[in-house]
Amino acid sequence: MTESHHDNPYFTQSEDPSRVQQTEQEIAAHVRGILELIEEDPDREGLQNTPVRVAKAWRFLTQGYHQDPAAVLLSAKFEVDYRHMVIVKDIGFYSMCEHHMLPFFGKVHIAYIPNGYVTGLSKLPRVVDIFSRRLQVQERLTTQIKDCIQEALDPLGVMVVIEAQHMCMQMRGVQKQNSITTTSAFTGVFKKESTREEFMNLIQR
Ligand SMILES: [Zn+2]
């Protein structure tokens, strides 16, 4: 699922300046082509630097392809004798849907019950960032976060809930209201309805 580059879990392409520049120039050339095709003038003042800015923005928004979320969790894995629910809720995220390459964004709530090991609390939002900064569908984003935590920490169970708004629905007028799409995925002890309810009650406070 993940590949590590060198020994650095935070490795990104930006560490190879010549390749970064080449990639940005190529993306910018495509963006310029799009501007022409939508009958804009890529040479008018306001648009002159737009292709390069878009290329830089896109590289940022897709940097998760070059990062290893499991390595982030394992970099701060601690042995503990705690077998109650650990919850990190309201983790903000921004991702891009793979169908329209438009943003979807919202909140991720994560719970797990440790089986001897926990990770640093700041690491869970990092994992959310890494999976979000790829082209995604909300369902896969949910299961990837769940699977990564399950594999790295081997807890008694993990549950991930994502609430998101999709610009491809709202901006294109498919669905006019600010509707929220909710997805969830879980393992282990969260298969029990009462455990899921406990988590849902805690995040709704
Ligand atoms: Zn979409």
pLDDT tens for each residue of 46-57: 999 999 999 999
Task: Please state the pTM of the whole predicted model.
Answer: 0.90
Nearby residues for ligand 1 (ion, Cβ within 5 Å): 97, 99-100, 168
Distance CA 151, CA 69 (A): 11
What does the pLDDT read at residue 37? 98
The Cα-based distances of 12 to 62, 82, 88, 158, 176 in angstroms read 10, 34, 26, 28, 38
Note the pLDDT tens digit of each residue in 18-54: 899 999 999 999 999 999 999 999 999 999 999 999 9
Strand intervals (E) in the chain: 77-79, 86-97, 103-113, 117-119, 135-136, 157-166, 181-186
What does the pLDDT read at residue 15? 60
Two tokens, residue 44: 């008018």
Residue 24 is among the residues annotated as catalytic for this protein: no
What does the pLDDT read at residue 71? 97
Distance CA 102, CA 92 (A): 17
Mean pLDDT score across all residues of the chain: 91
* Active-site residue, from 100, 163, 170, 198: 100
Residue 30 is among the residues annotated as catalytic for this protein: no
Distance 193 CA to ligand 1 centre (A): 31
Q: The tokens 């580059």 sit on which residue?
A: 5
Distance 92 CA to ligand 1 centre (A): 19
Note the pLDDT tens digit of each residue in 79-120: 999 999 999 999 999 999 999 999 999 999 999 999 999 999
Using CB atoms within 10 Å of the CB of residue 143, give its burial: 0 to 12 exposed, 13 to 18 middle, 19+ buried. Answer: middle
Distance CA 141, CA 133 (A): 10
Residue 99 is among the residues annotated as catalytic for this protein: yes
Residue 97 is among the residues annotated as catalytic for this protein: yes
Residue 168 is among the residues annotated as catalytic for this protein: yes
Residue 148 is among the residues annotated as catalytic for this protein: no
Distance 165 CA to ligand 1 centre (A): 10
85, amino acid identity? M
* Active-site residue, from 26, 98, 139, 197: 98
175, amino acid identity? Q
Whether the predicted pLDDT of 176 surpasses 80: no
Max alpha carbon distance in the chain (Å)?
A: 63
What does the pLDDT read at residue 29? 98
Distance 175 CA to ligand 1 centre (A): 12
CA-derived radius of gyration, the chain: 20
Distance CA 33, CA 45 (A): 17
Note the pLDDT tens digit of each residue in 113-157: 999 999 999 999 999 999 999 999 999 999 999 999 999 999 999
pLDDT band at 10; cut points 50, 70, 90: very low
What does the pLDDT read at residue 201? 94
What does the pLDDT read at residue 16? 81
* Active-site residue, from 5, 168, 170, 198: 168
